[in-house]
Amino acid sequence: MRRLPTRVDGDALARAVGRWLADRRTRPKGLCGLAVDGQALRGAARAKGRKIHLLATLDQATGPVMAQLDVGEKTNEITCFQPLLDTVADLAATMVTSDAMHTQRDHTDYLLARGAHNIVIVKKNQKKLFKQLKSHPWRDIPLQGRTRNTGHGVVSRRSATVSW
């Protein structure tokens, strides 16, 4: 049993399991959600000590990971975004969320071409877009929702405003 995991191609196994889960996934009417996020695995490392870093997408309604890829040493999450979502068969009528790293024009163009939608987080890593959004008349747009949470001694306040 110990030798079997060393002989299995991890990415191929992840693709096969992801396809199996996707085949059994019941899609709700309307938009469904997929989240894309990267994570360094705790306690797991390559032979040379480099941590294993995965980029994964999960179904926001039911929670299972639909696909994941190993982010190699010579690349980053940005270059793995499209190959990861290429393994998800049907993105039509899907809302894809991700962190600010994936606020990239190429990512949005890719998702639109696949019939998907996306929500992006804009921070100062996108200077031009951040400046355009900062100059938007946000005070004239009604607030759509507000939440306040406390966890681990931190108070988080979030508000949502929608503009087309």
Q: What is the pLDDT of residues 41-78, one digit of tens each?
A: 776 666 666 778 899 999 888 888 888 888 877 778 99
What's the pLDDT score for residue 162? 82
Tokens standing for 26? 């019941």
Whether residue 158 is predicted with pLDDT greater than 80 in this model: the reply is: yes
Distance separating alpha carbons of residues 97 and 118, to the nearest angstrom: 6
The pLDDT score that the predictor gives to residue 79 is: 93
Q: In this predicted structure, what is the pLDDT of residue 152?
A: 86
pLDDT tens for each residue of 20-46: 766 666 666 667 899 999 988 776 666
How many CB atoms within 10 Å of residue 132? 11
* pTM strictly above 0.85: no
